[in-house]
Chain A
Amino acid sequence: MSTTFLPCGEYHESYREDHAWWQTRFIKAKMMLLVLILFVGIPLAADSYWLSVCNQIGYTALGALGVQLLIGFCGQITLGHAAFLAVGAYTSTLLILEFPWPTVLMDLGLAYPISIFIAAIAAGIWSVLFGLPSAKVKGFYLILTTMAAQFITVDFVITQYISQIGGRGQAFSLPPGTIRIGPWVIDSDLKVYFMMIVLVILFTALVANLLRTRVGRAWVAIRDNDISAEVMGINIVRYKLLAFFVAGFIGGVAGAFWISNLAAISPEHFPWFWSLWLVGVILIGGVGSLHGVIFGSIFMVVVMELLQMAVLPLATSYPKLLMDFLFIKEAAFGLAICAFMIFEPNGLAYRWWQAKNYFNLWPFSY
């Protein structure tokens, strides 16, 4: 499902045209409109609540992007991705709070951007560490080794040791004004939103580019058939570790981004369930599709918000619902995954592809 049909009357005359992202004038206009909506429409139209929902979607998408890269494109099933988000978030937080930044950098507001980059590298390296078993093990066994990443990182290292730094015990609070990029202090949902939208677009584009060049093709080849990939000249171990690095890197960025939205960070922000959740996002969105990452994130976050909206009014007459909301949410998550696995195993992205082709081929769809 990688290519859609061109609409009638559209022809490519050079390979460059055939390699372009936006292949027709209509698509170009459509994408420009999308950019306009994302950068102008939503910030104008949405109130603080819906902006925070968008931010949640963006955070989920950034996390799921790494998971998609590993599971959907490289075939390395991972159930510990929240660990790398945690590494990113904690590295960034600690750098901001504890590192003796030169005043020049502080004044320029570069501390946070630099810390994001370092956090991403740290998370990438940490991810490679837990990707090492992938050189020898596949499938089920790899799932267990990636789960180890979650428990070692979050439940052991961060909870027991990192959290003790500075004698704080549990959470690191992020005082207002510490998170700033250049002259802007990231203190409102709107500013977080802009940061989110830039990061999501940037990383989606970077990964999309990777997937149409040498490295990305090697990943997909390893997913589809690792023996023939090796025979075709791909150093499998190296490319698997590269995939873990890039996935960890994006995870680190996601984690470091998310602290801008939090007043304090604690290990509870990165539970194992969140790793599972990210896998659920790509299952629903479509495994092996970048559209799937976005659609899955939107679907999951919006459905959960709608669920909340439905439950809250009921809670006035059934107060227990409020207490049980966490379980309702988890049940809905399970139900959604079951439903998708049975009725649309290719995910929302496949439906999107079908819809696009339907319109491109209309009225002669044979």
Chain B
Amino acid sequence: MGEAAAGDAGDVLLEARDVHMYFGKVAALAGVSLEVRRGEIHSVIGPNGAGKTVLMNCINGLYRPQKGDIFFKGMRINELKPYQRAALGISRTFQKVEVFGGMTVLDNIRLGRHIHLQSGILSGALYVGKTAREEIENRQFIEEEIIDLLEIEHIRHKPVGMLPYGLQKRVELGRALALKPELLILDEPLAGLNLEETEDMARFILDVNEDPRWNITCLLVEHDMGVVMDLSHRVLVLNFGIPIMDGTPSEVQRNPDVVRAYLGEEDLYATRR
């Protein structure tokens, strides 16, 4: 990581080709194609039930599309399980926070480092030498890179289940970052946050996308049009599982189909601001 700067229209990191996903006879996705280039923030928007989360679940491996292929770094990953895709460098956050409520903030983020750690049953149980060193190094990485970035020093030893919603979202982002992913799927990271928390979260997303130490490509699902249009390099618009268009934010704003399907007759910036 680190060679491709943000916005540099680099190689294709993730490609979804003609993805179909049916639940019974309901077509949640009907032929969606998506290309996410390295270093970009690529947003997916659409009205409720448009299939945005289904598409994320397909990319992430929680769902298996009936038709169509998903390529990550040029490799077909349709058959891989979610944990195998995580090892390839795909991480995500969820729309409804899915943190580990009984673990502390620190342990949640440590868990995100799972694929980068080595200790097993025996070495873990004995906790000597390499394992102890690994835990300390891991702790240092988390403290310096993630907790510092997300400004959650004050809650690091608190159980996540006891934190307010906004902080839980932040911890979830921290956990996703701990995996040091190449592709970060953000499923409505701003849902339910107040204005200040929204601004913080948007800043974190920009940080990890642009900071050369992270340089994470983001796939963002979001309803907050102001944020989507400001952050994204490209935007995919879905409606009832059908892709309407894929283009830059300004192209999307000008497209009459998009305006009709999603934004209504109102101005794009009507949702917030």
Chain A, residue nearest B124 (CB): A213
Selected from A16, A215, A229, A236, the residue in CB contact (under 8 A) with B119 is: A215
Among the interface residues B104, B125, B136, B159, which one has the most CB atoms of the partner chain A within 10 A? B125
Given A3-B157, A231-B82: A16 and B99 within 8 A (CB)? no
Residues 102-139 of B at the A interface (beta carbon under 8 Å):
102-104, 107, 110-112, 114-115, 117-121, 123-127, 131-132, 135-136, 139
Determine the chain B residues whose CB is within 8 A of the CB of A217 once the complex forms. Answer: 103, 107, 110-111, 114
Contact, CB under 8 Å: B140 / A213: no
Contact, CB under 8 Å: B124 / A215: yes
Which of B64-72, B87-95, B190-198, B258-266 participates in binding chain A?
B87-95
Contact, CB under 8 Å: A235 / B83: yes
Contact, CB under 8 Å: B102 / A227: no
Q: Does B62 contact A (CB under 8 A)?
A: yes
Total number of B residues with any Cβ neighbor in A under 8 Å: 46
Contact, CB under 8 Å: A220 / B135: no
Q: Does B100 contact A (CB under 8 A)?
A: yes
Determine the chain A residues whose CB is within 8 A of the CB of B104 once the complex forms. Answer: 2-3
Contact, CB under 8 Å: B107 / A220: yes
Selected from B83, B107, B132, the residue in CB contact (under 8 A) with A233 is: B83
Chain A, residue nearest B143 (CB): A15
Contact, CB under 8 Å: B92 / A231: yes
Contact, CB under 8 Å: A228 / B99: yes
Selected from B115, B121, B132, the residue in CB contact (under 8 A) with A215 is: B121
Contact, CB under 8 Å: B99 / A19: no
Determine the chain A residues whose CB is within 8 A of the CB of B112 once the complex forms. Answer: 232
Residues 17-51 of A at the B interface (beta carbon under 8 Å):
18-19
Contact, CB under 8 Å: B115 / A220: no
Nearest-neighbour CB distance to chain B for A184, whole angstroms, equals 26
Q: Does B3 contact A (CB under 8 A)?
A: no
Determine the chain A residues whose CB is within 8 A of the CB of B125 once the complex forms. Answer: 206-207, 209-210
Bound Cα distance A216, B121 (Å): 9
Given A220-B103, A223-B102: A232 and B127 within 8 A (CB)? no
Q: Does A288 contact B (CB under 8 A)?
A: yes
Nearest-neighbour CB distance to chain A for B198, whole angstroms, equals 22
Contact, CB under 8 Å: A216 / B139: no
Chain A, residue nearest B140 (CB): A15
Selected from B121, B124, B175, the residue in CB contact (under 8 A) with A232 is: B175
Bound Cα distance A230, B90 (Å): 12
Q: Does B81 contact A (CB under 8 A)?
A: yes
Q: Does A8 contact B (CB under 8 A)?
A: no
Bound Cα distance A288, B161 (Å): 15
Given A217-B103, A217-B110: A209 and B124 within 8 A (CB)? yes
Q: Does B8 contact A (CB under 8 A)?
A: no
Determine the chain A residues whose CB is within 8 A of the CB of B120 once the complex forms. Answer: 214-215
Bound Cα distance A15, B107 (Å): 14
Chain B, residue nearest A21 (CB): B127
Chain B proximity mask over A227-245: 1 for CB below 8 Å, otherwise 0: 1111111111000001000
Nearest-neighbour CB distance to chain A for B138, whole angstroms, equals 9
Bound Cα distance A223, B127 (Å): 23
Determine the chain B residues whose CB is within 8 A of the CB of A242 once the complex forms. Answer: 121
Q: Does B60 contact A (CB under 8 A)?
A: yes
Selected from A16, A213, A228, the residue in CB contact (under 8 A) with B127 is: A213
Residues 262-301 of A at the B interface (beta carbon under 8 Å):
288
Bound Cα distance A261, B10 (Å): 70
Which residues of B are at the interface with A, using a C-beta cutoff of 8 A?
60-62, 81-83, 86-87, 91-92, 94, 98-104, 107, 110-112, 114-115, 117-121, 123-127, 131-132, 135-136, 139-140, 143, 157, 159, 175-176, 179
**Which 4 pairs across A and B sit closest by C-beta, in order of nearness?**
A233-B86, A213-B124, A224-B100, A228-B98
